[in-house]
Amino acid sequence: MALKFATFIATTRSNTTGGLSRFNEIASDSCSDQTVTRSVTASNNPITVTKTSTIYFTDTGFKTQHQVQSSTNSFMTIAVTNSYESGLSLSLASNVDSPTPIGNPFPAALPKSSSTEYTFPTGWAGRLCVGKVMNTNASKIEASFDGTVDVDVSYVDGYTVPIVCSSDGVPVTGCSIELFKQSGAPCEDLVDNHLCLNTARETPHGPPPPFFKACAGTAYTFPSDDQANQYNTSSNLISCCIGSVCKAPLRQLKDSAGRPTDATLSTRNTE
């Protein structure tokens, strides 16, 4: 049968948990005397969907066959929600030799009550600095992904805002105490009224300075404060909340005066 032309449309849709805001599509066509085939691959991390549409021509007419295949890619997504009292600045830094984060994100502003997401391929490791202004000594979300997620919150370099990260809805690392508002433990090295440098950052085994003590064991407050990084799960989606209203890990038991915190009490009542 002589084939002059064939026209058809292949569409692909998918619901995803995070990543890019639109599909990246690659289409390819092939044909013979009896068939015309179009294959469309659409990727929106962490899902890739391929739809193949084939028209078969016979002496009595034609028929169309569709086949859809999907696969889950290996990515880690960190979702960040600003529950703080003001807008914030986010700055992402990757370790040497780490692959580029999906979309190669630039430093960004995160308005109050808004959220954003970062998606990372296998082999990535680095940190996300969070504060009122960009500073490498700010409060940090540290993470790596080699097929398994490893995440912690660190105040080792300094503190700007409280951060708690959760996996599968369970707080696993971080501290929701607003350290600037605690009494009896002033910052020893204050910078521009919004950054407290950690004077124990060069002291491997601590102890943490009084200003940071309330968060010891939940966020890193000195280099080997490893209780802050022993409660991770296998989920590839990490949700991080910024602010004192964030649900805190159960082990965040006391403030600097030894009293249970409001965030801890609400957490203990709901878990």
Query: In the prediction, which pLDDT does 145 show?
Result: 93
Q: Please report, rounded to a whole number, the percentage of residues in the chain having pLDDT higher than 70.
A: 65
Helix or strand holding residue 161 (H, E): none
* 127 and 155 part of one domain: yes
Compute how many other C-beta atoms are within 10 angstroms of the C-beta atom of residue 129. 22
In a domain, residue 11? The reply is no
pLDDT at 242 over 70: yes
* CA distances in angstroms from 37 to 13, 49, 60, 69, 132, listed in the order given: 19, 16, 19, 15, 54
In a domain, residue 43? The reply is yes
Average pLDDT over residues 241-262: 72
Average pLDDT over residues 136-164: 95
* 158 and 237 part of one domain: yes
* CA distances in angstroms from 226 to 112, 130, 211, 216, listed in the order given: 31, 21, 19, 9
Q: Which of 37, 72, 107 is the last residue of a domain?
A: 72
* 39 and 153 part of one domain: no
DSSP 250: T
Q: Which residue has the higher pLDDT, 232 or 198?
A: 198
State the Cα–Cα distance between residues 140 and 95, nearest whole angstrom: 14
Average pLDDT over residues 253-263: 48
β-pairing verdict for 75-82 and 88-94 = unpaired
Average pLDDT over residues 52-74: 64
Q: Read off the CATH number of the domain in which 61 is found.
A: 2.20.25.110
The sheet that has 115-121: what strands, in order across it? 115-121, 75-82, 237-242, 163-167, 170-175
* 79 and 58 part of one domain: no
State the Cα–Cα distance between residues 42 and 26, nearest whole angstrom: 7
State the Cα–Cα distance between residues 178 and 159, nearest whole angstrom: 10
State the Cα–Cα distance between residues 153 and 139, nearest whole angstrom: 8
* 153 and 238 part of one domain: yes
pLDDT at 16 over 50: no
Three-state DSSP at 125 gives strand
User: pLDDT band at 21, cuts 50/70/90?
Assistant: very low
pTM beyond 0.95, yes or no? no
Q: Write down the residue that tokens 């190669």 correspond to.
A: 104
The candidate with the shortest Cα–Cα distance to 18, out of 81, 68, 67, 69, is 81
220 token code pair: 């890193």
Question: Residue 173: beta bridge partners?
Answer: 165
pLDDT at 11 over 50: no
In a domain, residue 9? The reply is no
User: pLDDT band at 267, cuts 50/70/90?
Assistant: very low
Number of domains in the chain: 2
Query: In the prediction, which pLDDT does 123 show?
Result: 94
* CA distances in angstroms from 115 to 15, 75, 197, 240, listed in the order given: 19, 19, 27, 10
Average pLDDT over residues 17-41: 56
* 47 and 88 part of one domain: no
Q: Which residue has the higher pLDDT, 47 or 95?
A: 95
* 138 and 244 part of one domain: yes
User: pLDDT band at 63, cuts 50/70/90?
Assistant: low
Q: Read off the CATH number of the domain in which 215 is found.
A: 2.60.110.10
Asked if 49 contacts 59 with a C-beta cutoff of 8 angstroms, the reply is no
Which of the residue ranges 54-68, 127-141, 247-261 has the most confident prediction, judged by mean pLDDT?
Answer: 127-141
In a domain, residue 237? The reply is yes
* 90 and 222 part of one domain: yes
* 32 and 124 part of one domain: no
The residue range of the domain holding 189 is 75-251
Apex 73 CA angle, 123 and 114, nearest 5:
85
From 155-159, 238-242, 259-263, the region with the lowest mean pLDDT: 259-263
* 98 and 184 part of one domain: yes
Query: In the prediction, which pLDDT does 104 show?
Result: 79
Q: Which amino acid is at 229?
A: N
Note the pLDDT tens digit of each residue in 180-226: 998 889 999 999 999 999 999 999 998 999 999 999 999 999 999 99
